[in-house]
Amino acid sequence: MIKKLLDRIFNSKSAKSLAHASTTVNPTHKAQQRSKLTANHAHKQPDLPHHGALSIAHKTHKIDRNLLSNAALKTTEGLHKAGFEAYIVGGAVRDLLLNRTPKDFDVATNATPEQVNRLFRRSRLIGKRFRLVHVLFGDETIEVSTFRGSHLEAEGDAKVSDSGRIIRDNVFGSIVDDALRRDFTANALYYNPASQEVLDFHNGYADIKAGILRMIGKPETRYAEDPVRMLRAVRLSAKLGLKIEAQTQAPIAKMADYLADVPPSRLFDEMLKLFLSGHAMQSLAALRAQQLHHGLLPMLDVMLEQAMGKRFIMMALQNTDQRILAGKSANPSFLFACLLWHEMIVAWELHKKSGQHLMPALHLAMNEVIASQAEKLAIHNRYTATMKEIWAMQPRFEQRAGKRPFALLTHPRYRAGYDFLLLRCESGELPMELGEWWTAFANAEGEARSAMLMADSAPKKRRRRNRKKPSATPNVAD
Ligand code: ATP
Ligand code: MG
């Protein structure tokens, strides 16, 4: 009880001292504080100017301030004015140094999530495993995280599994601690927009300039803490053209199984990032080369062994990469529908062989494929609904008689279904003529469109339909 009380008092004191870190440092105590800081991170001493990091000036790094988002600048300014430290950190700094436009901006600060939340009117606290704040300016969201400390220290809210995986990570710390728990040296650079300095704790600047992706600390331990870091290594190296440093690379092959421990929804998020990075083809090739793809998308490895399945998946990824690199959006549902299509075909055939009719067999296969997938990698519900629509539309493209083609054109997902059909034709699964017919049919008008309709070639169905009134005709695909 007393220990708890002392802990609480100590924690609130260290939180306060952290909050005033940037303004209350007495220079005569610098040396003393530096030795304390390195001797024991658990005692969160006020941070020193530069915190013992390499300070890279603007004349060296030459980051163009105009490339920074206004929202990120407003966020760091707001925090600075309130007496906190605040830096743009992580991927944005790395991308700017690589002359790339950052996808998003993250800010790190010594203010607690609650303090950040109170400071910005349009902000909200989010996350459980990793508590942070989203600050909103217009349609931009800046992710603000409080400097994290080491999870190995007892205080605060942290949890580690038996395999060493970090389950919760809410121990706050100093900027030094925060840099130490980031994944790669290139991701541990802190840019202060006010002074235009970059603080570099782990030689990330030199690594970026040398084109190297290097894990901070002992790679084995860092992968055990969070196996997703293996996927991040593959994704970031493919996307940024960085070479994974030898020791960072070495443990990956033997630690691939650790991914089985990661919650399926987190794996999905990471795979989505990988597939929508604009470098999906390279990333998938790298995942396979490193034996990391097993179990991520069950059966994907089997499909990639089959000529037609491989062709289909490669074409889908190529399409997605081209769209992303051209600045267009790519629909995750479409992509995952593609990745699982040949698995669908196998399951569908099995159900047809066991005596099920075409559409019931398709629906059984869809549910099965999605369910088996969810054990490893949980595709969000909002995507599975569209995936099923795209799949369920496919048999309808093979019906080119009567009113059915007109009805299909008005389907809200027609475009996605049609693009999917084209991929099936181009990969050799269906004759090209079918895709061409639909292209022409959609573009034709009035009489010309009606003239394209084929004679109903299904005598059995026609006989059945003839017995009913035309208005009661069931749609085979519904
Ligand atoms: P991207 O360009 O895909 O956004 P990123 O490196 O910015 O790449 P984020 O997921 O946005 O990736 O993470 C922001 C920062 O948080 C990273 O740069 C890194 O410093 C840190 N980080 C993210 N994931 C991890 C992790 N699994 N382990 C340690 N640090 C991480
Ligand atoms: Mg990022």
| CA-nearest residue, atom 1 of ligand 1 | 91
Two tokens, residue 92: 């944005």
Distances (CA, A) of 187 to 180, 191, 355: 10, 11, 56
**Contact present, 316 and 284 (Cβ < 8 Å):** no
Residues ≥6 apart with Cβ < 8 Å to 47? 18, 21, 22, 25, 85, 110, 174, 175, 176
| CA-nearest residue, atom 28 of ligand 1 | 183
> Confidence band (pLDDT; 50, 70, 90) for 17?
very low
Rounded Cα distance between 241 and 411, Å, is 41
State which amino acid sits at residue 85.
E
- CA 222 to ligand 1 centroid distance, Å: 14
Atom of ligand 1 nearest to the CA of 225: 28
What pLDDT score does 130 carry?
79
Residues ≥6 apart with Cβ < 8 Å to 199? 50, 51, 53, 54, 55, 56, 87, 175, 189, 190, 191, 192
Superfamily (CATH) of domain 1-210:
Beta Polymerase, domain 2 (3.30.460.10)
- CA 92 to ligand 1 centroid distance, Å: 10
> Near ion ligand 2, which residues have CB within 5 Å?
91, 104
Of 95, 106, 177, 178, catalytic? 106
| CA-nearest residue, atom 4 of ligand 1 | 91
Closest CA to 21 of 50, 1, 42: 50
Over residues 75-95, mean pLDDT: 97
Q: Is the pLDDT of residue 461 over 80?
A: no
- CA 257 to ligand 2 centroid distance, Å: 26
* Ligand that lies nearest to the alpha carbon of residue 277, given by its number in the listed order: 1
DSSP state of 257: G
Residues with CB under 6 A from ligand 1: 90-91, 103-104, 106, 182-183, 187, 226, 228-229, 232, 273
| CA-nearest residue, atom 5 of ligand 1 | 91
DSSP state of 182: S
Distances (CA, A) of 164 to 264, 423, 453: 18, 43, 63
Measured in degrees and rounded to the nearest 5, phi and psi for residue 294 equal: -60, 130
pLDDT digits (tens, 9 = 90+) for 145-192: 999 887 555 455 666 676 666 656 667 889 999 999 999 999 999 999
pLDDT digits (tens, 9 = 90+) for 244-276: 999 999 999 899 889 988 888 888 889 899 999
DSSP state of 474: P
Q: Mutate which of 130, 181, 187, 218 to test ligand 1's pocket (most atoms within 8 Å of Cβ)?
A: 187
Q: What is the pTM of this model?
A: 0.77
Helices marked H in 326-431: 332-339, 341-353, 358-374, 381-393, 404-409, 414-426
- Match 């570099």 to its residue by tokens: 200
* Ligand that lies nearest to the alpha carbon of residue 95, given by its number in the listed order: 1
Rounded Cα distance between 332 and 192, Å, is 35
pLDDT digits (tens, 9 = 90+) for 63-73: 998 899 999 99
pLDDT digits (tens, 9 = 90+) for 391-429: 999 999 999 988 999 999 999 999 999 999 999 999 999
- CA 457 to ligand 1 centroid distance, Å: 56
Distances (CA, A) of 131 to 34, 124, 421: 28, 11, 43
Of 95, 183, 207, 321, catalytic? 183
**Contact present, 83 and 203 (Cβ < 8 Å):** no
Rounded Cα distance between 300 and 297, Å, is 5
The residues facing 401 across adjacent strands are 454
Q: Mutate which of 143, 171, 183, 191 to test ligand 1's pocket (most atoms within 8 Å of Cβ)?
A: 183
Measured in degrees and rounded to the nearest 5, phi and psi for residue 10 equal: -60, -45
Residues ≥6 apart with Cβ < 8 Å to 324? 276, 277, 278, 330
Two tokens, residue 96: 């700017």
Angle at 447 between CA 445 and CA 449, to 5 degrees: 50
Rounded Cα distance between 392 and 417, Å, is 9
For domain 292-446, give its CATH number from 2.40.50.220, 1.25.10.10, 1.10.3090.10, 3.20.20.80. Answer: 1.10.3090.10
What pLDDT score does 207 carry?
98
- CA 90 to ligand 1 centroid distance, Å: 6
**Contact present, 106 and 89 (Cβ < 8 Å):** yes
- CA 271 to ligand 1 centroid distance, Å: 14
The residues facing 243 across adjacent strands are 212
| CA-nearest residue, atom 17 of ligand 1 | 90
| CA-nearest residue, atom 18 of ligand 1 | 90
User: Domains of the chain: which residue ranges?
Assistant: 1-210, 292-446
Over residues 320-343, mean pLDDT: 91
Atom of ligand 1 nearest to the CA of 232: 27
Atom of ligand 1 nearest to the CA of 273: 3
Q: Is the pLDDT of residue 444 over 80?
A: yes
Does the annotation count 104 as an active-site position? yes
Does the annotation count 7 as an active-site position? no
Rounded Cα distance between 23 and 476, Å, is 72
Of 126-130, 285-289, 379-383, the poorest mean pLDDT is in: 126-130
Rounded Cα distance between 369 and 348, Å, is 10
Two tokens, residue 460: 């059995």
**Contact present, 232 and 267 (Cβ < 8 Å):** no
- CA 271 to ligand 2 centroid distance, Å: 15
What pLDDT score does 70 carry?
95
